[in-house]
Amino acid sequence: MTRKEPADTPLGDEFHLYDTTLRDGAQREGISYSATDKLAVARLLDELGVGFIEGGWPGALPKDTEFFARAAKGELALKHAALVAFGATRKAGAKASEDKQVRALLDSQAPVVTLVAKSDLRHIERALRVDVDEACAMVRDTVSFLVGEGRRVFLDAEHFFDGYAYDPDTSLRVLDAAATAGADVVVLCDTNGGQLPLGLAETVRAVGERTGFRLGIHCQDDTSCAVANSVAAVQAGATHVQCTANGYGERAGNADLFAVTGNLVTKLGMEVLPTGGAAELSRVSHALAEIANIAPDTHQAYVGSSAFAHKAGLHASAIKVDPLLYNHIDPASVGNDMRVLVTEMAGRASLELKGRELGVDLAGQPEALTSAVNKVKRLEAGGWSFEAADASLELLLRREVDGPQNRVLDNPPFELESYRVVLDHRSDGEVVSEATVKVHVAGKRVIATAEGNGPVHALDAALRQALSPYLSWLDTVELADYKVRILPGHPGTDAVTRVLVETTDGSREWTTVGVHGNIVEASWLALCDALVHKSLSVAGA
In the complex, the residues that contact ligand ACO under the rule CB under 6 A are: 57, 60-61, 88-89, 91, 116-118, 127-128, 158, 191, 250
Nearer of residues 190 and 390 to ligand PYR, judged by Cβ = 190
Question: SS3 letters for 80-94?
Answer: CCEEEEEEECCCCCC
State the minimum distance, in angstroms, from the CB of residue 204 to ligand PYR.
15
Nearest alpha-carbon partner for 222 in 258, 255, 259, 186: 255
Helices (H), 345-436: 348-358, 366-381, 390-401, 407-410
Whether the Cβ atoms of residue 95 and residue 141 lie closer than 8 Å to each other? yes
Chain center to CA of 119: 34
127 binds, among ligand PYR, ligand ACO, none (CB under 5 to 8 A by kind): ligand ACO
Tell me if 128 sits within 8 A of 119, measured CB to CB. Answer: no
Identify what 447 binds: ligand PYR, ligand ACO, none; CB under 5 to 8 Å per kind: none
For every residue of 97-121, DSSP letters joined together read GG-HHHHHHHHTT-SEEEEEEE-SH
**Of 16, 19, 24, 177, the one binding ligand PYR by CB under 6 A:** 24
Residue 29 and residue 251: Cα distance in Å, rounded?
A: 7
* Residue 221 contacts ligand PYR per CB under 6 A: no
Q: Please pick, from the candidates 170, 191, 223, 282, the single residue that binds ligand PYR as defined by CB under 6 A.
A: 191
The answer to whether 54 contacts ligand PYR (rule: CB under 6 A) is: no
Per-residue H/E/C for 152-187? EEEEEEECHHHHHHHCHHHHHHHHHHHHHHCCCEEE
Among ligand PYR, ligand ACO, none, residue 60 binds (CB under 5-8 Å by kind): ligand ACO
Tell me whether residue 24 or residue 529 sits nearer to ligand PYR (CB atom): 24
Applying CB under 6 A, does 158 fall inside the site for ligand PYR? yes
Interaction of residue 116 with ligand PYR, rule CB under 6 A: yes
> What's the closest the beta carbon of residue 254 comes to ligand ACO, in angstroms?
10
Q: From the CB of 266, what's the least distance to ligand ACO, in Å?
A: 30
Asked whether position 156 contacts ligand PYR by CB under 6 A, the answer is yes
Nearest approach, Cβ of 88 to ligand ACO (angstroms)? Answer: 4
Provide the residue count of the chain: 541
Asked if residue 21 binds ligand PYR (CB under 6 A), the reply is no
Please say which residue, 78 or 128, places its beta carbon nearer to ligand ACO: 128
Nearer to ligand ACO, 9 or 191 (CB): 191
Largest CA distance in the chain: 95
User: Considering CB distances under 5 to 8 angstroms, the limit depending on partner class, which of ligand ACO, ligand PYR, none binds residue 220?
Assistant: ligand PYR
Query: For residue 73, what is the DSSP state?
Result: I
- Nearer to ligand ACO among residue 91 and residue 438 (C-beta): 91
Binding to ligand PYR by residue 120, rule CB under 6 A? no
- Rounded Cα distance between 2 and 87, Å, is 20
Q: Which is nearer to ligand PYR, 81 or 189 (CB)?
A: 189
Q: How far is the CB of 95 from ligand PYR (least distance, A)?
A: 24
Cα separation of the two ends of the chain: 66
Q: Determine how many CB atoms are found less than 10 A away from the CB of residue 515.
A: 22
Residue 123 makes contact with ligand PYR by CB under 6 A: no
b vs e for 125-141, b when ≥16 Cβ sit within 10 Å of the residue's Cβ? eeebebebeebbbbbbb
Pick 220 or 433: Cβ nearer ligand PYR: 220
Q: Is 46 in the site for ligand PYR (CB under 6 A)?
A: no
In the set 9, 108, 171, 220, which binds ligand PYR (CB under 6 A)?
220
Among 189, 270, 307, 466, binds ligand PYR (CB under 6 A): 189
Pairs from 454-457 (Cβ < 8 Å, separation ≥ 24)? 455/421, 455/423, 455/519, 455/520, 455/523, 456/482, 456/519, 456/520, 456/523, 456/527, 457/433
Q: What are phi and psi of 56, to 5 degrees?
A: 135, -165
Least distance to ligand PYR from the beta carbon of 294, Å? 20
- Minimum CB distance to ligand ACO smaller for 127 or for 447: 127
CB 51 within 8 A of CB 6: yes
Tell me how far apart the alpha carbons of residues 191 and 163 are, in angstroms, rounded to a whole number.
Answer: 10
Binds 385: which of ligand ACO, ligand PYR, none (CB < 5-8 Å by kind): none
Does 218 engage in binding with ligand PYR (CB under 6 A)? yes
Q: What is the contact surface with ligand PYR in residues (CB under 6 A)?
A: 24, 116, 156, 158, 189, 191, 218, 220
